[in-house]
Homo-oligomer: A and B are copies of this chain.
Amino acid sequence: MPISLGELATQFGCELIGDPDLVVSKVASLPGAGPDALTFLSSSHFKPQLASTRAGAVILRRADAADSPVAALIHDSPYACYARMAAVVCPGPVQTPGIHASAVIDPTASVAASASIGPHVVIGERAAIGANVVVGPGSYVGPDCKIDDNSRLVANVTLARAVQMGKRCIIHPGAVLGADGFGNAMTPDGWLKVPQLGGVRIGDDVEIGANSTVDCGAIEDTVIEDGVRIDNLCMIGHNCHIGAHTAMAGMSGIAGSTTVGKRCMFAGMAGAVGHITICDDVIVAAKGMISKDITTPGTYASNFPAEPAKDWSRKVARVRRLDTLTERVRKLEQGD
Interface size for A (C-beta < 8 A) is: 126
**Bound complex: CA A210 to CA B321 (Å):** 41
Q: B285 contacts A77, CB within 8 Å?
A: no
Assess whether B302 is in contact with A284, with CB atoms less than 8 Å apart.
Answer: no
A273, CB-defined interface residue at 8 Å = yes
A142, A253, A290, A296: residue with the most chain B Cβ atoms closer than 10 Å: A253
Closest residue of chain B to A251, judged by CB? B253
Tell me the nearest residue of chain B to A283, going by C-beta.
B309
The A contact surface, by secondary structure, is: loop
The reply to whether B190 and A245 contact each other, CB–CB distance below 8 Å, is: yes
Asked if A135 is at the interface of the complex by the 8 Å CB criterion, the answer is no
CB distance from A215 to the nearest CB of B (A): 7
What residues of chain B lie closer than 8 Å to A255, measured between beta carbons? 249-250, 268, 286
17 CB-based A-B contacts, threshold 8 Å: A27-B195, A80-B186, A119-B122, A136-B140, A137-B140, A160-B173, A172-B179, A173-B179, A179-B209, A184-B247, A210-B215, A251-B251, A290-B305, A290-B306, A302-B305, A305-B316, A332-B333
Shortest CB distance A101–B (Å): 9
Tell me, in angstroms, the Cα distance from A219 to B237 when the chains sit together: 33
How many Å from the CB of A326 to the closest CB on chain B? 6
| Cα–Cα distance between A35 and B136 once the two chains are bound (Å) | 42
The stretch among A65-73, A83-91, A107-115 that forms the contact with chain B is: A83-91
The answer to whether the Cβ of A226 comes within 8 Å of any Cβ in the partner chain is yes
A3–B118 Cα distance when bound, in Å, is 42
A4: chain B residues at CB < 8 Å are none
A130 lies within 8 A of chain B by Cβ: no
Closest to A93 in B: B143
Pick the residue among B143, B179, B232, B289 that contacts A269 (CB under 8 A): B289
Find chain B residues with CB under 8 A from A118 CB. 122
Q: Which of A226-279 contact B (CB under 8 A)?
A: 226-227, 229, 231-233, 235, 237, 244-245, 247, 249-251, 253, 255, 267-269, 271, 273-274
Interface of A toward B, CB cutoff 8 Å:
27-29, 32, 77, 79-80, 82-84, 86-87, 90, 92-93, 100, 102, 104, 118-120, 122, 124-125, 136-138, 140, 142-143, 154-156, 158, 160, 170, 172-174, 176, 179-180, 182-187, 190-195, 197, 205, 207, 209-213, 215, 219-220, 226-227, 229, 231-233, 235, 237, 244-245, 247, 249-251, 253, 255, 267-269, 271, 273-274, 284-292, 296, 298-309, 312-316, 318-323, 325-326, 328-329, 332-333
**Given pairs A28-B220, A271-B286, 17 additional interface contacts (CB within 8 A):** A27-B197, A82-B185, A86-B194, A136-B140, A140-B156, A156-B158, A179-B232, A182-B250, A184-B229, A190-B227, A287-B289, A289-B304, A289-B305, A299-B309, A301-B309, A318-B319, A328-B333
